[in-house]
Structure 1
Amino acid sequence: MKARVFTPHKLDVEAFARDGASLQGEWPAQALSRLADSAAPEAPASAWPAVRWSLEGEARAEPRSSDKQIWLHLEASARVSLTCQRCLQPVSEDLNLSRWFRFVRGEEEAASLDADSEDDVLALTRSLDAQELVEDELLLALPLVPRHETCPEPLPHSNAEPDEEAGEAQEDERPNPFAALAALKGRGPAQ
């Protein structure tokens, strides 16, 4: 019997799981356009290392039924450069994920099982684009607020402490808003 050939861009998840098949590979980071859009301007995705991924299918015996549950295990890793929200310089982030997905026959069943389960439940489709799935999961793994542990360059406003004399001179130069109010009050109608 000839072994099936599976491709990640049109993956028959059910056959992949029933065969207990596996796939792995790398994609250039810029091939994942939505992930590449998150890049710091000074460190575009074309300079990032390749995104590594692997998929394993598994058909598990379903309790109280002769049917098999369709499962897909995804592992992926990427190194991305985002903009630090403190110093606005590029910060490298390592993304590593390992997820199991259970596939069921319809959207309604997926929604009801997903709400009640800790597992990720998806509706089974005729073909799955694994690159989109990998990109979705990497996007979800991005930090909400990327930042360095310690910024490489001090922030402009945090490293310069104003000289006390210069600070006093600045205070003297600023007009007091209440002085103008007092002047207006003193010019009121004569009594």
Structure 2
Amino acid sequence: MLEGHLPKTIDPRKLAKQHVSLKGGWPVADLEQVANYLTNPEGEVEVDLAFTQDAEGHFVISGQLVAQVQMTCQRCLEPVTLGVTVEVLLAVVWSDESGKQLPDYLDPIVVADEHLSLARLIDEELILNLPIVPAHEDPICQPQMEWLDPDAVDDSTISEQPKNPFAVLASLKKSKT
């Protein structure tokens, strides 16, 4: 097991043949795609991955990614800190075609050459597990937009009778006759 500083690139097939485990932290700020969804890219992703080869000969990456991320709450538009836990179960394949032949319980990750960017793997797995609509827990969060609050309507701006947009046409018709 390798703990602590994680390598930038790995050879997942070689690691699987040697039954290596990687454990350590990865800075969230170094994850380009995930950082685009966050209000604050601080913190680390706890990485715990095992590389093995199963009975059918598939090179398997399994483990867990855990992170605390800060996103924008879609109710109140304030920052919200959310825990994201990702269960990883991937099979390393050479192409999309070979990925289609995997058993249903394995998701493919295409590694055309020998090396895989560990940041890419973490980035893609976290993005797939970020909430689509991040929000605070219900009792905490209240919408801050006035248009959502029916009591916030200013009655002085509402006229009794709406103006008829065709009134001008009616007056023109009367003047011609």
One-letter code of the match for 2:104? S
2:119 alignment partner in structure 1? 131
2:11 alignment partner in structure 1? 12
Structure with greater proportional helix content: 1
RMSD: 3.0
TM-score, normalised via structure 2 length: 0.80
**2:86 aligned counterpart, secondary structure:** strand
1:54 alignment partner in structure 2? 48
How far off its partner does 1:21 sit? Answer: 0.8
- Cα distance in 1 between the residues matched to 2:101 and 2:61: 16
Distance 1:76 1:187, change over 3 A: same
CA distances 1:56-86 after superposition (whole Å, capped 9, x unpaired): 0112222xxxxx3211113101111111222
CA distances 1:143-176 after superposition (whole Å, capped 9, x unpaired): 112222335344232446157xx6377223x751
How far off its partner does 1:8 sit? Answer: 3.2
1:65 alignment partner in structure 2? none
TM-score, normalised via structure 1 length: 0.75
Q: Of the two, which has the highest radius of gyration? A: 1
How far off its partner does 1:185 sit? Answer: 5.8
1:72 alignment partner in structure 2? 61
Count of matched residue pairs? 172
Moved more, 76-85 or 153-162: 153-162
Q: Pairwise mapping of residues 1-191 of structure 1 onto structure 2 (< 5 A)? A: 8-40=7-39, 44-46=40-42, 49-62=43-56, 68-110=57-99, 112-114=100-102, 117-124=104-111, 125-150=113-138, 152-157=141-146, 158-159=148-149, 161=151, 167=155, 170-172=158-160, 176-177=163-164, 180-181=167-168, 183-184=170-171, 187-190=174-177
Distance 1:107 1:154, change over 3 A: closer
Structure with greater proportional strand content: 2
Distance 1:101 1:178, change over 3 A: closer
- Cα distance in 1 between the residues matched to 2:92 and 2:152: 62
Instruction: Give the percent of matched residue pairs that are identical in Structure 1 and Structure 2.
Output: 24
Distance 1:168 1:37, change over 3 A: closer
**1:8 aligned counterpart, secondary structure:** coil
How far off its partner does 1:140 sit? Answer: 0.9
- Gaps in structure 1 of 5+ consecutive residues: 63-67
- Gaps in structure 2 of 5+ consecutive residues: none
- Cα distance in 1 between the residues matched to 2:44 and 2:6: 19
